[in-house]
Amino acid sequence: MIIVLIGYMASGKTSLGKKLAEKLNYNFIDLDDFIEEKEKLSVSDIFKTKGEIYFRKQESFFLKELLNDNSNIILSVGGGTPCYSNNMQDILNADHVTSIYLKASISTLVKKLIKKKDKRPLIAHIETEEAMAEFIGKHLFERIPFYDQAETKVTIDDKTKDDIVEDIILELF
């Protein structure tokens, strides 16, 4: 089975995905890392040198490749992945694939992202928590219709990583 973790930046797709993979004895793949390995460029360098349209095409191509794998995989995808190129439908229509939306409130996301904004080019320019909340709110408004299509939703607010992993396992099995 392939378990695809979707959600906004800082919802824990990678960190929770690694913990979940370890607990279930699955392989863990981060789609952005997979793309970087295949393209021999970082995601930010792909954006800079080849543009977002090229990146989104490659993202969709490699997502389809991974969805056709028959291994047990926890797949963490980028926050925008479900919103482009019919990717969410590909996830939903793939055999032996289930999707989980790691749902976080705006306040939880602000708390997490304000500390890490320098590592995230999309939000590095945002100075205040109020501006961050406004940015996230607008972004989520656009993305939630895609995220909400996930077969399972797990809220992460005010929970430890171990508790969230347990919630995911309870939902799946």
User: In the chain, how many domains are there?
Assistant: 1
Do the domain assignments include residue 73? yes
Share of the chain above pLDDT 70, in %: 99
Q: What is the CATH number of the domain that holds 111?
A: 3.40.50.300
Question: Is 173 inside any structural domain?
Answer: no
Residue 78 marked ligand-binding: no
Is 56 contained in some domain?
yes
- Annotated ligand binding at 56? The verdict is yes
81 annotated as belonging to a binding site for a ligand:
no
Report the alpha-carbon distance of residue 139 to residue 155 in Å, rounded.
Answer: 18
Asked, for residue 43, whether it belongs to a domain, the answer is yes
Pair 125, 30: CB distance under 8 Å: no
Tell me the per-residue pLDDT of 87-137, one tens digit each, with 9 for 90 and over: 999 999 999 999 999 999 999 999 999 888 777 777 878 889 999 999 999
Known binding residue 103? Answer is no
Is residue 94 one of the residues assigned to a domain?
yes
pLDDT band at 173 (very low <50, low <70, confident <90, very high): confident
- Does 98 carry a binding-site annotation? no
- Give the distance, in angstroms, between the CA of residue 159 and the centroid of all CA atoms in the same chain: 18
131 marked among binding-site residues: no
Q: What gap in Å lies between CA 64 and CA 61, rounded to an integer?
A: 5
pLDDT band of residue 51 (cuts 50, 70, 90) is: confident
Quote the pLDDT of residue 170: 94
User: The domain containing residue 145 runs over which residues?
Assistant: 2-168
Whole-structure pTM value: 0.94
Please tell me the distance from the alpha carbon of residue 114 to that of residue 124, in angstroms, as a whole number: 9
